[in-house]
Chain A
Amino acid sequence: MQPMPKMLRILTGVTIALLFGALYLVFGYAPREAIMGEVQRVFYFHVAAGWVGGLAFLVTAVAGAVYLARRRRGWDLLAVASVEIGIVFTFINIASGSIWARPAWNTWWTWDPRLVTATIMELLYVAYLMLRQGIDDPDRRARFGSVYGIAAFVSVPITFLSIRFFRTIHPVVIGSNDPSAQGAFDMTPRMLQTFLFSLLTFTFIYVTLLWHRVRLGRLAEQVEQRKMEMLTV
Chain B
Amino acid sequence: MLERAEAKMRAPAPGAFASYLRAVGAVISKDLTAELRSRELLGAMLVFSLLVILIFNFALELDVRARQSVTSGVLWVTFAFAGTLGLNRAMAVERERSCLDGLLLAPVDRSALFFGKALGNLLFMLIVAAIILPVYSLLYNVNLFRPALAGVIVLGSIGYVIVGTLFSAMAAQARTRDMLLPILLFPVVLPVLIAAVRATASILLAIPLAEIRGWINLLIVYDLLFTAVAIMTFDYVVEE
Contact = CB atoms under 8 A, between A and B. Distances in A.
Nearest to A157: B191
Contact of B176 (A68, A123, A134): A134
Interface residue tally on B, bucketed by range = 20 to 34
Interface of A: 68, 120, 123-124, 127, 130-131, 133-136, 140, 143-144, 146-148, 150-152, 154-155, 158-159, 161-163, 165
B173 A135 contact: yes
Contacts of B226: 151, 154-155
Contacts of B229: 150-151, 154
B187 A124 contact: yes
- Give the interface SS of chain A, mostly helix, strand, loop or mixed: helix
Interface stretch (B114-122, B131-139, B231-239): B231-239
A159 B237 contact: no
A151 B191 contact: no
B184 A165 contact: no
Contact of B237 (A120, A130, A147, A165): A147
Given A134-B180, A162-B195, A154 B174 contact: no
Nearest to A132: B174
Given A134-B175, A155-B187, A161-B218, A143 B194 contact: no
B187 A130 contact: no
> 6 closest A-B pairs (Cβ-Cβ)?
A134-B174, A162-B191, A134-B176, A158-B191, A147-B233, A124-B187
Given A131-B174, A134-B176, A135-B173, 4 more contacts: A123-B187, A134-B177, A144-B237, A162-B218
Contacts of B189: 155
Contacts of B198: 165
A11 B126 CA distance: 56
B190 A120 contact: yes
Nearest to A126: B183
B54 interface: no
A143 B239 CA distance: 9
A130 B194 CA distance: 24
A158 B190 CA distance: 9
Contacts of A151: 163, 166-167, 188, 226, 229, 233
- Give the interface SS of chain B, mostly helix, strand, loop or mixed: helix
A120 B170 CA distance: 21
Nearest to B225: A154
Nearest to A146: B236
A133 B195 CA distance: 32
B43 interface: no
A75 to B, nearest CB: 13
B166 A127 contact: no
Contacts of A161: 191, 218
Given A130-B180, A143-B236, A163 B163 contact: no
Given A68-B236, A146-B236, A147-B236, A155 B188 contact: yes
Contacts of B221: 158
Nearest to A123: B187
A134 B188 CA distance: 19
Contacts of A163: 194
A123 to B, nearest CB: 5
* Best-surrounded residue of B167, B191, B226 (most CB of chain A within 10 A): B191
A163 B214 CA distance: 12
B236 A152 contact: no
